[in-house]
Amino acid sequence: MTSNEEVVREAYRLAEGDVLDGPGFRALFTEDGTFNDMPNSLTFRGDQIPHALAGLASAFPDIHRELLSVHAVGDVVAVELRIQGTHLGAFPTPVGAIPPTGRRIDVPTADLWHLREGRIETFSCYNAANVWLAQLGASPDFRSAIEAAETTAAGA
């Protein structure tokens, strides 16, 4: 019998850039399983799940997840990790793709995995998107945010 921790470790292995097995990753999920990209408010279900992996790997073909600590308690596995890779492909944003920069990323992340009967029911990834974007050279546009807030306040 495979433990919940072993299932999660296998999911990470299948998501590595040098392995990248989307169908194998998907097979670890329940039929109605979900993958939640929390910083981007995106949820992938069913056959969308492998596409999420492929999209990230297209921007970071050498993507690697350095697992720092893994804690399994019942049907929940919590993982502290770092997402690492080299930006060699277009990275999508709401206003267009960031062209490849060749920069390395090393992003602190926490993942929560909820399993049911040895299969992944929900995977929620909480990565430090602000760190990720800063490492790609995409600084936040605070000036526009301040101007928008001031305009809204003036109109109230």
The mean pLDDT value of the chain amounts to: 94
Which backbone phi and psi does 87 adopt, to 5 degrees?
A: -75, 95
Q: What is the pLDDT of residue 94?
A: 82
Per residue in 44-59, pLDDT (tens digit) is: 999 999 999 999 999 9
Average pLDDT estimate for 134-147: 86
Pair 117, 32: CB distance under 8 Å: no
Residue 16: per-residue pLDDT: 97
Report yes or no: 38 and 110 within 8 Å, Cβ to Cβ: no
Q: Is residue 1 predicted with pLDDT exceeding 70? A: no
- For the stretch 23-76, pLDDT in tens is 999 999 999 999 999 999 999 999 999 999 999 999 999 999 999 999 999 999
